[in-house]
């Protein structure tokens, strides 16, 4: 594997420093800086991106810990406002399982980290392990943007995803809460949910999708039949024809954000056209500069 592509995005090695990341992945007893911290002095991070922990996986890990101990130290920082105590940055599953296994202390690395670093590290660790559900992932990205002023491009760079991936995840948060819950519980996939974004009847359509066990293609066909009710298909500046699938609408939004102008993609089975609408000559000049940059 090419150096620099290990893990995901910048990875923990970039967020913590190479030495710390290697220590965090090494067996107990080998890395320098690992300490045994009493479990009662460790507190969970209220901003932990992962909200759902399966009881079965925690129990299985607890059984392993009883037999072999904790093989990988957790990452902590001094707990804000609690001198002598600690807050989890990464490793909540191991911490929960260690409690269930009856451990009184567990191996840990302690680092001074600010709130932004804590959230970024927690997101990267969970995304690397594929532990986050799509709604949890989207909420994590939103937290980085709202609390720390990150742009979608910066969030994408941190977690090693494309900017359209981040944008598509964030769009899921525009769905009604009941639909987000169906998504979080695994009743709907991200593909189902993307097709419902912006639709005024998203809740009833989601229930129909679940009841009829529709796949994503069937869902898109169902949504297209109700296309006039889709908010995002209603005419905007330049006009958007009805009947576009969720991926085309997402791509239009991505291009519009990059160019700063309304974009209309008209696809006819693999051929078509892209229309970009400008209102002033200054906008046209700026568009030309963007399109010819590096040419």
**What sign does the CA torsion over 145, 151, 156, 159 have?**
negative
Give Cα separations from 18 to 10, 21, 29, 146 (angstroms). Answer: 11, 5, 18, 29
- Report helix, strand or coil for 125: helix
Cβ–Cβ < 8 Å for 21, 11: yes
**What sign does the CA torsion over 196, 199, 202, 208 have?**
negative
Q: Which one of the listed residues 30, 55, 92, 282 is annotated catalytic?
A: 92
Does the annotation count 154 as an active-site position?
no
Q: Which two tokens stand for residue 170?
A: 């964030």
CA dist 131 and 47 (Å) reads 15
**What sign does the CA torsion over 101, 106, 107, 108 have?**
positive
Residue 86 burial (CB < 10 Å; 0-12/13-18/19+)?
A: buried
What is the separation, in whole angstroms, between the first and last Cα of the chain?
Answer: 32
Compute, in degrees rounded to 10, the torsion defined by CA atoms 159, 164, 165, 167. Answer: 90
Active site residues: 92
């Amino acid at each position: 594997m090419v150096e620099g592509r290990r893990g995901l995005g910048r990875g923990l090695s970039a967020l913590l420093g190479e030495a710390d990341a290697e220590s965090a992945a090494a067996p107990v007893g080998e890395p320098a800086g690992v300490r045994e911290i009493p479990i009662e002095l460790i507190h969970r991070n209220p901003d932990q991106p992962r909200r759902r922990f399966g009881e079965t996986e925690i129990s299985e890990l607890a059984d392993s810990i009883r037999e072999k101990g904790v093989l990988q130290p957790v990452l902590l920082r001094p707990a804000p406002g609690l001198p002598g105590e600690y807050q989890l940055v990464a490793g909540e599953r191991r911490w929960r399982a260690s409690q269930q296994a009856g451990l009184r202390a567990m191996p840990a690395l302690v680092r001074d980290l600010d709130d932004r670093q804590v959230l970024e590290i927690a997101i990267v660790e969970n995304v690397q392990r594929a532990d986050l559900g799509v709604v949890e992932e989207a909420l994590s990205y939103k937290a980085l943007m709202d609390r720390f002023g990150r742009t979608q491009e910066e969030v994408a760079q941190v977690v090693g995803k494309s900017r359209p991936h981040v944008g598509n995840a964030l769009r899921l948060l525009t769905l009604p809460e009941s639909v987000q819950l169906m998504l979080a519980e695994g009743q709907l996939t991200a593909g189902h949910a993307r097709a419902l974004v912006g639709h005024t009847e998203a809740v009833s359509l989601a229930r129909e999708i679940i009841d009829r066990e529709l796949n994503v293609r069937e869902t898109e066909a169902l949504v297209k039949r109700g296309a006039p009710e889709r908010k995002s298909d209603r005419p905007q500046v330049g006009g958007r024809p009805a009947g576009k699938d969720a991926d085309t609408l997402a791509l239009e939004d991505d291009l519009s954000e990059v160019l700063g102008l309304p974009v209309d993609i008209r696809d006819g089975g693999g051929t078509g056209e892209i229309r970009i609408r400008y209102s002033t000559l200054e906008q046209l000049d700026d568009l030309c500069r963007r399109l010819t940059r590096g040419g």
